[in-house]
Structure 1
Amino acid sequence: MRQAHFQRVREGRVTEHWAVRDDQGLGLQLGWIPPSPMFLVRSAIATRRARRAHPG
């Protein structure tokens, strides 16, 4: 995955930063988009456990 970063430097310090990235492309390649059924199951279980541990 390629990225481009641009910085503006004044007096030896970075004062601005821009980035051009393809996060959606990365997610597709890694299988995060769309999420796998197993990921959805694990997320639901983790959410349920967290709500039980910290009600209200």
Structure 2
Amino acid sequence: MLIKIEKASTPEYWNVWMNAWCVKFRSYAEALAFVNRLEGRINAPHVLPISEDRLVLELS
């Protein structure tokens, strides 16, 4: 996913682009905090769930 921060056309606002989706923020600090949190969640380890049925089949 492409994530970028840019100055909005309105002077006091900032845009955060996530591919083609845009979110507007009132300050650069708010935009940067959002991006940092989003990237942290994207880069966090994710455990894929496994069903108990599959586990029983693999053990037998």
TM-score class normalised by the smaller sequence: 0.3 to 0.5
TM-score (norm 1): 0.33
TM (norm. structure 2) is 0.30
Q: Which structure carries more helix by proportion?
A: 1
